[in-house]
Amino acid sequence: MDPALLRERELFKKRALSTPAVEKRQAASESGSHKKKKPKVDKESSSGSKHSTESSNGNFNIKASSGYKFGCLAKIVNYMKTRHQNGDTHFLTLDEILDETKLLDISMKQKQWLMTEALVSNPKIEVRDGTYGFKPKYNLKDKKALLRLLDKHDQLGLGGVLLDDVEEGLPNSAKAIKALGDQIIFVTRPDKKKILFYNDKHCQFTVDEEFQKLWRSVPVDSIDEEKIEEYLKKQGISSMQETGPKKVLPVQKRKKQGGQRKRNFKTHNNHLAGVLEDYSDGVPVKK
């Protein structure tokens, strides 16, 4: 055989041994294909999660819309109160109110809700021929109206009037109260709220010292306030009603009556009733 061919054969064998095997490459490619495969996702679980997110978003939107509606209502009521306190007591249409409160971006549904439900049923809003105005507890025009109100409360024994109610219903109330001066008496309650009373100057007189001593000598500590009020009513005198915060009495829990349970004793030999005789007093004498 030609020696040149033999040399080429030997070189071919060396090159074949130096090159990597084909089987190893196939194994590597197979492992790579396994890595590329994506895990299957359960369609039912994914659809359920979508439904849950949609329902949660729906509840959030409902809460957000209801909160926005009542926020608009509160803004309108506060605005109507402020303009009433500043002396603007004329009524406005809903469009004028929305324009002045800058609530022009509300939907027609929310506008219809304000017109037919919210403003009509609100105790602080008065509706008159399709227009709206503020409705205070005491509708006072000027300082004379305030003085008449306090005088009426004093004559009927109703006590004073809260300063908050006066400020709510009287335009420019601070100026009017200052102008009345000593015709009004301020009293501060324990909860730091101020009460206005009518200062009746006809009741300002000096009382004799002997009468004062007699008045103070009568003990009333042991008499209940209800009995005093009942006595005054019998005499035709009306007592002043309390305007302060009412005290809530704690509810007394009823004690459970722990009655003694009757014990039931078992009775024996019921079937021998009328046959057995009682020998506790001795043996009976036969007749």
Q: List domains and CATH numbers for the chain.
A: 66-134 (1.10.10.10), 137-220 (1.10.10)
What would the mean pLDDT of 246-263 be, rounded to a whole number? 62
Per-residue pLDDT tens digits for 45-89:
555 555 555 555 555 455 456 788 888 999 999 999 888 888 888
- 171 or 27, greater pLDDT: 171
State the DSSP string of 108-151. HHHHHHIIIIIHHH-TTEEEETTEEEE--SS---SHHHHHHHHH
How many CB atoms are located within 10 Å of the residue 177 CB? 19
219: left (phi over 0), alpha (psi -120 to 50) or beta: beta
Per-residue pLDDT tens digits for 189-229:
888 899 999 988 777 778 888 988 888 888 777 778 888 88
Q: Tell me which residue of 147, 163, 133 sits closest to 243, measured CA to CA.
A: 163
- The pair of structure tokens assigned to 158 is 């109703």
Cβ distance 110 to 69 under 8 Å?
yes
Residue labelled with tokens 């949609």: 54
pLDDT of residue 14: 78
Cβ distance 84 to 134 under 8 Å?
yes
Query: What is the identity of the amino acid at 190?
Result: P
What would the mean pLDDT of 105-129 be, rounded to a whole number? 89
The residues, ordered by sequence, that sit 6+ positions from 77 with a Cβ below 8 Å of its Cβ are 122, 124, 125, 134
pLDDT of residue 132: 93
Distance (Å, rounded) from C-alpha 109 to C-alpha 93?
17
pTM of the model: 0.49
Assign 172 a pLDDT band (cuts: 50, 70, 90): confident
Mean pLDDT, rounded, of the chain: 77
Q: Measured between alpha carbons, how far is residue 37 from residues 29, 32, 40, 42, 184 in Å?
A: 13, 9, 9, 16, 89
Assign 17 a pLDDT band (cuts: 50, 70, 90): confident
**Helix 173-180 to helix 143-156 angle, to the nearest 10 degrees?**
60
pLDDT of residue 257: 61
The residues, ordered by sequence, that sit 6+ positions from 180 with a Cβ below 8 Å of its Cβ are 143, 146, 147
Cβ distance 165 to 172 under 8 Å?
no
Q: What is the dihedral of CA 226, 228, 234, 240, to 10 degrees?
A: -80
Which of the residue ranges 183-192, 219-228, 257-266, 273-282 would you say has the lowest mean pLDDT? 257-266
DSSP state of 92: B
The residues, ordered by sequence, that sit 6+ positions from 28 with a Cβ below 8 Å of its Cβ are none
